[in-house]
Amino acid sequence: MILKPTNMNKLIIFFAISMIAIPALSQSKKEKQVTAAIEQLRIAMIDGDRSKLEHIVNDQLSYGHSSGLVENKQEFIEKIVSGKSDFVTIDLAEQSVAVSGKTAIVRHILNAKTNDSGKPGEVHLKIMLVFQKMNGGWKLLARQAVKMP
């Protein structure tokens, strides 16, 4: 028995495809928004821009360094702005973004040239970032760095 396509069948097929396609499109949109937030953070860290850092960082930030030091939002921002932690360049590689609702987990490799307190150097780290969507934007909630093997 072969069914002829009816308007009702076409409508059911359209809705079925929509239910599959729409979440995939929205996921991609969220990933792009998180990627844009990562870029804003990268530039703000290089520039040492207090207002941009204040904007992109969640008030509850937990910022973990590869040394084991953990900073809150105020400590992290002050260290960047003061030049104690001075990024001359930051290059990100092998980045992955996974979004689940209003939370995003980002992993990448960070290679940077630094000038911490006027002392030139380089860092090569594996990083995990956690972003949370709030007030219409993605904010950095947590970061943990580990040294490259």
Query: pLDDT at position 28, please?
Result: 77
Residue 2 resides in a domain:
no
Q: Are 83 and 118 in contact (CB under 8 A)?
A: yes
Q: Which two tokens stand for residue 5?
A: 């396509």
> pLDDT value at position 61?
98
Q: Which residues of the chain have pLDDT under 70?
A: 1-27
Sign of CA pseudo-dihedral 132, 72, 144, 117:
positive
Model-level pTM?
Answer: 0.80
Residue 26 lies in a domain: yes
pLDDT reported for residue 38: 98
CATH code (residue 40): 3.10.450.50
Q: Is 114 within a domain?
A: yes
Residue 106 lies in a domain: yes
What residues contact residue 45 under an 8 Å CB cut-off, 6+ apart? Answer: 53, 80, 87, 90
Q: What is the per-residue pLDDT for 149?
A: 85
- Residue 80's pLDDT is 97
Burial 12-36 (b: 16+ CB within 10 A, else e): eeeeeeeeeeeeeeeeeebbebbbe
Q: Buried b vs exposed e over 99-129: b needs ≥16 C-beta within 10 Å?
A: beeeebebebebebebeeeeeeeebebbbeb
Count the domains in the chain: 1
1 lies in some domain: no
Q: Which residues span the domain enclosing 88? A: 7-147
Contact 124, 110 (CB under 8 A): yes
pLDDT value of position 22: 44
